[in-house]
Structure 1
Amino acid sequence: MDLVNAYIRKIPIGLVYALALTPAIFLIHAALTGGLGIDPVKKLEHELGKLALQMLIFGLAITPLRRWAGVNLIRFRRCIGVVTYVYLCFHLLVWLVLDVQILDQIWGDILKRPYITIGMLGFVLLTPLALTSNNRSVRRLGPKWRQLHRLVYLAAVLGGLHYFMLVKGFQLEPILYLTVIIGLLLLRVVPARRIQAA
């Protein structure tokens, strides 16, 4: 595993940013060229939301991967967090600007539709984390920085619930997302010796 981690340390952070944001480029291109079906706005909105949730899950997996598998991706955690928030902003902007468009209806949807209320709460929780994802904030906040960034756990659960409540009927994918999120959070509290003994 030392050899794997040695190769990981050689990967430029900029390359990770570029690779993580590449799906957005393909999505936008598909939306502009008619590749997203009969309702491209809704498709773009949903796919950006899924990408945000996938990045959030990836970020949550970094610590368990290091703890249980010895794979150290910690140096990419800030990058993944920033990309998660970028995708979330894209998802929100498509909903606000291209989907709903009417300010009164936006507020009405937030207040009356539980899945939108939960999604917006998750966005609100992640906003201070994104704004403090820099070295200056880490130095200024000290120990409080780590406490603040624990909000990501609640935001992840809210994101999974948002997706689960959004879909109509029984669909396996949102259940899997929510299950993975809960599983990754549980791995943070289960003692290592229990996992090793299993």
Structure 2
Amino acid sequence: MASIRITQTQARWLRVIVHMLAAVWLCWVYYHAIATTRYSDPVEEVLHFTGTGAINLLLLSLTISPLIRRFRLSPLFALRRPLGLWALAYGLTHVVSFILFELQLDWQQLLDALISRPYIIVGFIALLLLSAMGVTSTRGWQRRLGPRWQRLHNSVYVAAPLVLLHYLWSLKTIGLEPLLYCCALLLLMLLRRQQWQRWWRRAMP
């Protein structure tokens, strides 16, 4: 197998590309949802795009460590944070879009939705975990939290399955796309089994 080499400069350019693609794609969907008639159901389109976008970005962020270990591509480490932060950004826009466009800021309707659709609560829990990781993703927080920082960020092993559970639970039928997501997450958990098993042993009293 031919060796793969990525320089620090190439990794920085990849990071720029990640930021540009994630931002432009999100703006493009919102533009067509608000300003054009491209979508027959703009709200549903936005909710689906931001939800699946968050899943895709989160799964991509989880592939970085296995790629680094398998191909010794340590410069790719620079992509893990932007992918994770954009997964959080897409998750936040998903929730905000749901409250603004679907519920139209009707808080009683939100309470009713939480009761009648428990998968929303699962999504909120996952979003809180991702938010905690996003807020503390800087080197300053890493220094302040010390060993607790890694334990906190290992909660991605809880957040990722919850995100996928939220998605699957919200569907009326299970098609090919959600099955592919399940297979991808299962594969990534198997590739990272040493990390999450170590975290699980430390998390359990």
Shorter-chain TM range is 0.7 to 0.9
Question: Which runs of 5 or more residues in structure 2 are unaligned?
Answer: 196-205
Identity %: 32
Q: CA deviation at 1:5?
A: 4.2
The 8 Å contact of residues 85 and 134 in structure 2, kept in 1 or not, is answered as yes
The 8 Å contact of residues 118 and 158 in structure 1, kept in 2 or not, is answered as yes
Matched, 1:21 2:23: yes
For 2:38, the aligned partner's letter is: G
For 2:77, the aligned partner's letter is: I
Secondary structure at the aligned position of 1:182 is classed as helix
Q: CA deviation at 1:20?
A: 2.3
TM-score by length of 2: 0.85
Matched, 1:131 2:146: no
Matched, 1:105 2:118: no
Q: CA deviation at 1:2?
A: 5.1
Residue of structure 1 equivalent to 2:99: 96
Tell me the matched-pair count.
190
Q: CA deviation at 1:6?
A: 5.3
Structure 1 runs, 4 residues or longer, greater than 4 Å off: none
Q: 1:142 to 1:49 in 2, by over 3 A?
A: same
CA RMSD, 1 decimal: 1.9
Residue of structure 1 equivalent to 2:202: none
TM-score by length of 1: 0.88
After TM superposition, list the pairs within 5 Å mapping 1:1-198 onto structure 2. 1=3, 3-5=5-7, 8-11=10-13, 13-31=15-33, 32-37=35-40, 39-72=41-74, 73-101=76-104, 102-189=106-193
CA deviations on 1:114-162 (whole Å, 9 max, x unpaired) are 2212111111111111111112111111111111001111111011111
The 8 Å contact of residues 168 and 174 in structure 2, kept in 1 or not, is answered as no
